Amino acid sequence: MIPCLVVRGEANALVLRRLLEPEFGHALQVLGTDFFSESVSLARSVLSNRKAIVALVAGTRSAELQKIRELHRFLVYALVQIECPDLWKVVLVVPDTEVMLFQNRGVLCQVLGREPTGVEWNRGQTEPLQVLEEVFGLKEIRLDKELCRRLESVDVSCLAEHPVVQQVRRFFRDHREGRSTLTL
């Protein structure tokens, strides 16, 4: 079955799809969900239903180490109930996956349609969703749709070496080449 990457947000899915497509093409399915809980449920469902390997990219929504540990433990528990740990991978992003857009000024500039202010840029490193919500005056699904619309014409290739992308790429590459690992 085709390996799957699950992430909250269609915009995040669009970015990751673009970054992974050059190497994996249609041999990888990137699925975006509307809410966090849907990501977890979908990852579990794909694992059990399609018997496909799954990478779940999840925002921690907090920078507190204790909360991050608890979230990681929960996600590992949620997935290990369904399948062996070598068939899935949890990748955490602090605090939200949208932080990837704040890793390159050029990308952010294209998304916003203008140069980000110093405050937006700095806050975006720790509160990316809040900054985007404030800039566009939208939340959740509406914000996600607006980001998708704007990302259509944005070149995100410079984000290819982001640690999140690297971890996901390594996981799928190892499986493709028969070198699955047990690292959680």
Partner 1 sequence: MEVGEASCLVECKHWQEPVDFSPIAKFKVRVDRRPPAALGLMFSVKGFTEPALREAYAQPLRNVLLWHGRDVSLALRGGMRAALGAKWRKAVEEAQVDYELKAEDLR
CA distance 40 to 37: 5
Strand order in the sheet with 88-93: 29-33, 4-8, 54-59, 88-93
- CB nearer to partner 1: pick between 68 and 160: 68
- CB nearer to partner 1: pick between 148 and 160: 148
Q: Residue 171: in which H helix or E strand, if any?
A: helix 163-176
Amino acid 4 reads C
Give the interface with partner 1 as residue ranges (CB under 8 A): 33-38, 40-42, 44-45, 48-49, 71, 74, 77-78, 81-82
Question: At its nearest, how many Å lie between partner 1 and the CB of residue 61?
Answer: 9
CA distance 163 to 135: 26
CB-based contacts of 36: which residues, under 8 Å, 6+ apart? 8, 58, 59, 61
- CB nearer to partner 1: pick between 51 and 149: 51
Question: At its nearest, how many Å lie between partner 1 and the CB of residue 172?
Answer: 21
Question: At its nearest, how many Å lie between partner 1 and the CB of residue 35?
Answer: 4
- CB nearer to partner 1: pick between 38 and 174: 38
Question: At its nearest, how many Å lie between partner 1 and the CB of residue 129?
Answer: 15
